[in-house]
Amino acid sequence: MFSWGENTRDGFGLEKANTDGCVNFKHMKPPITHLSAGHKVVAFIRNNGKQVSVARMQEDKDGRRITGKLKDVECREKILALSCSDAHIILLSEEGRVFCLTQSSNVPRPVGNLNQVIQVACGEQHSIALTQDGKVFTWGQNSSGQLGLGKGEPSTLSPQPVKSLSGIPLAQITAGGDHSFALSLSGAVFGWGKNSAGQLGLGDTIDRPAPAPVDCLNLKKTITVSCGVEHTAVLTKGGLVFTFGSGRYGQLGHNSLRNELRPRLVAELWGAKVTQIACGRNHTLAFVGSFKKIYSFGRGEQGQLGNGVKMDQSVPLPVQLPQDCIDDHQIEQTFAGGNHSFALCSSAKESGNGLNDSHLGKVTQTLDNDIINRWISECDSKSWKKKIQKEITKTFSSASCLNGSFLDKSHDKHYQTSLKHSGVDLSSARLAFKKLAEKAKVLAKVEDVVQRILLPSLSKDPIGVEGLRVYLIIPELLRVLLKQQRGIDVTEAFAAAILRLNPDKFQVLVSLWSTLPNKFFRTVVKTFHSVSPEYFCMLEKKGYAVNKQFEGTVKVMERLYEVNCNRHIKISASNFHVNRANRMLENMLNTFAYNDYRKLSEDFFYSFHRQSCVFNIEAKYLVYQLEWKYRVVLCGPLDFCIPTIHVNREKALEDAFQHLRQSGHNFTMPLKVEFEAENGVDQGGVSLEFFRLLGRELLTMEPKTLEVYESGLAWFTTDDGGINDEFYLLGLLCGKALINKCVLNLCFPLALFKKLLGLTTTLDDLKELSPSEASCLQYVLDEDEVEALDLVFMDKGQELIPNGEELPVTMVNRKKYVDLYVDMKLNKLVQSQFADFEKGFHKGCPIQAWRMFLPEELMTLLQGDDNYEWDKMRENAKYQGYRPTDDIIQNFWIVFMEFSEEQKKKFLTFLTGTDRLPRGLSLSKLQMQITSMGSTDADEYYPKAQTCSVTLCLPNYSSIDILREKLLHAITHCDVFGDL
């Protein structure tokens, strides 16, 4: 052992020292395996842990400090490690128990009920212990928050858990004067306690009563932290040293005496690849293994720097080790105390690998393949009850254990843990749980521990990303459980644990979900999707009352769906759809009577609106129908409530506007239409015809509300001169068409429906509406030298931003220019027009279920469905005056099936007034009627269509060629309607 510093020449009573020079060398028999030094005490572990010796500093008659007599401590257990402060010494036994020695007694006394402890550390008046399952306990003085228990917590003699560190897989704990640190397996550093000189590295001098992450050390690959009384040093895997805190004696090594509030690189050690660091009270040691050199800096008045001069130094200089001794020995560990420094070494024959960049002491227990293989192979032996079940419980009841397992160590990726990278290797986790599933009893035990112990214990406020890894790992366990038709209760409990997270922590989890590879993100979704049908089963069982059981799984699905919408590569929305919901909704719609609707509540539908992601478009439409019927029931008996609007076919739009302007209209109810001088009864067909006519007139009305673009799509006019309430009434008509389940034959772009749903419009939306404008903007984004275009932030005389005329478009700001242009075109220029339209739309369709639909789905609801099933139209056709076997009918279907897709759509327009059918009135449900015209000169006539009743009046042509000619002419050129 090398030793130097205050009063070390007497050898602490161990062996006679070699006193040649400032550094003493002692041959130890039996050798020292561990030591710790405070300001007034030094303690050694010898004889492979069987012997502990303590020497305390005393003052002689002249007031000089001298080393007292070395005293042995009687320990009943083998001691693996110890840590000293002047007030107390903490011993850690091989059995994982903790004992304490005080100034007045060298008799070890057990500390609380601590067991399975793997590391201990002492500050001046407080102590820390780390257990095998990752728990941190502290006790002692808490005057500066050094116990990390939170604001206002008192000092305590009994160990208390530091709850905010639960779930963090730790590699090291350490303590300074009145401050403490914990280091995670992935290099995250957490500090708490006194911060008067910036020793926590947080950029200020405010004490912290609970662990706070030292964010500026993120991604630095920290592997060791060491504390002095008011300063701290950290060592990275790359051999760099950062120091912060008090620089009063030069102990930070920055060639100054200034305090540092944030970690600062010790530049003098750059390139030296330091492998160990140790902080004394006011000095620091750094060991470079490849050079066999120890560098020291800081306070040196007692010779603790080992440089032959008893004075302070603020830059690292080599300790003057005896060359003859260093050649024959390998330094294994360095230690620094109050005014002492030590280096344990071994002879060349005894030398091990040294510590290099590994951590001092054991780290949090983790799960690996060797452990799993042993569980699988020995689960049928006697060790199952004696050992394996206990190990499974210990591992799977600890979030720290799971969070530290399956680290992504390839290229040190786990050191890159951030909001975008979890640091966990989920492929490894998947293989591990697949292996566990080979033995049912092992998997069952794991399932029991996770459900009964782990999930209820998860903190709602985990600190750092590492504390959230368990939320990514557990779905891989649930994946194998659900495959074996088990794990439903665990999944429900897991959903509850996710929803308990504080909002800011939940948002971190959302960030991690968003960056998962597709196959693992899909696993998370499938986990909750597998259980979500139970929610709808329970709804039916409980009479459709709002059900809390399994609701959590659906809530998590909602958030996962939001994540998916924002992912760069999305998984299909069908992964979220729960088909069980369709069956429940169909049962409700088909069986509910008047009183059944009365029993429902607003909360029932509100919950469905929130859960829209689990409904496919058919289910959403069923909810829409249910809510409509529910609101109709609330209004009173249906026959007395439905308003009828009387319009003239020649001025349908004018009459409609006049009707909607009248007060007292019940907008919750659907609409029945009567055309003047026509006897048709509105069973849906008249309303379809009415809204078809409105669609035509709206495009030609004056004053103009809509402009038709090159794409054939309609958008709000920006010239709103002479407009009063027409935009509002346009919105009303769209809302009424929606609630009437009618097609309003207006071709709006998808942007309109995105705006109604509160979604952001993009360049793609402008491409749909105005391809030429969007093409120019895309050119701006793709052009290599955009400055040559001489563009400024203007659009047709309007500034896109203040002083936009003076701001040129460059390579740097061109994306902003394009975004502002799109925003101006689709939002700002039509802001008031859309606001009036939106107000009218909400008034015209007060049912809230339409908000469940995606923009594409809402567009289909208003503008009709283009999912053509032409063969279904023939299957459902009815005949009057003809039989299906008649030649004219056979020839008609032959000609129809010969038509191109566009010709079939023209026929549909001829028959119904539109080539897009209302949602729910697909061709499989459309009952077309073909009736005879009864004319003797059939070949002289064209077919006619009665759109109100979806009837084709078909003359009995003499040949298939004449039928083909007349039918093609009718659908291409004619717009003839018979009596309605």
Q: How far apart are CA 110 and CA 114, in angstroms?
A: 8
Please tell me which residue in 379, 742, 948, 953 is annotated as part of the active site. 948
Count, residues in the chain: 980
Q: How far apart are CA 917 and CA 930, in angstroms?
A: 19
Q: According to the 3-state scheme, what is the secondary structure of 830-853?
A: HHHHHHHHHHHHHHHCCCHHHHHC
Q: How far apart are CA 766 and CA 777, in angstroms?
A: 10
CB 765 within 8 Å of CB 749: yes
Q: How far apart are CA 852 and CA 837, in angstroms?
A: 20
Residue 891 structure tokens: 């020839």
Chain centroid, CA 582 distance in Å: 29
**519-to-438, 542, 917 alpha-carbon distances in Å:** 22, 36, 38
Residue 706 structure tokens: 């809509």
Please tell me whether the peptide bond between 533 and the residue prior to it is cis, using omega within 30 degrees of 0.
no
Task: List residues bridging with 51 in a β-sheet.
Answer: 46
**102-to-165, 514, 612, 868 alpha-carbon distances in Å:** 28, 53, 65, 87
Q: How far apart are CA 180 and CA 199, in angstroms?
A: 10
User: At 754, which helix (H) or strand (E)?
Assistant: helix 750-756
Half-sphere exposure of 439 (CA within 13 A, CB side): 17
Residues 6+ apart with CB under 8 A from 918: 688, 741, 742, 743, 864, 865
Task: List residues bridging with 55 in a β-sheet.
Answer: 42
Q: How far apart are CA 902 and CA 904, in angstroms?
A: 5
Strands 32-37 and 260-265: unpaired
Q: How far apart are CA 56 and CA 201, in angstroms?
A: 32
CB 942 within 8 Å of CB 966: yes
Half-sphere exposure of 954 (CA within 13 A, CB side): 36
Residues 6+ apart with CB under 8 A from 670: 628, 642, 687, 739, 740, 741
H helices, E strands: number in the chain: 30, 39
Give me the helix-helix angle, 831-844 and 726-739, nearest 10°. 40
Chain centroid, CA 96 distance in Å: 38
Q: According to the 3-state scheme, what is the secondary structure of 403-454?
A: HHCCECCHHHHHHHCECCECCECHHHHHHHHHHHCCCHHHHHHHHHHHHHHH
SS3 category, 689: helix
SS3 category, 871: helix
Residues 6+ apart with CB under 8 A from 395: 133, 365, 367, 371, 401, 402
CB 38 within 8 Å of CB 84: yes
Q: What b/e readout covers 77-99, taking b as 16+ CB neighbours within 10 angstroms? A: bebbbbbbbbbbbbbbbeebbbb
For residue 948, indicate whether it is catalytic: yes
944 phi and psi, to 5 degrees? Answer: -125, 160
Q: Token match 């279904």: residue?
A: 872
Active site residues: 948
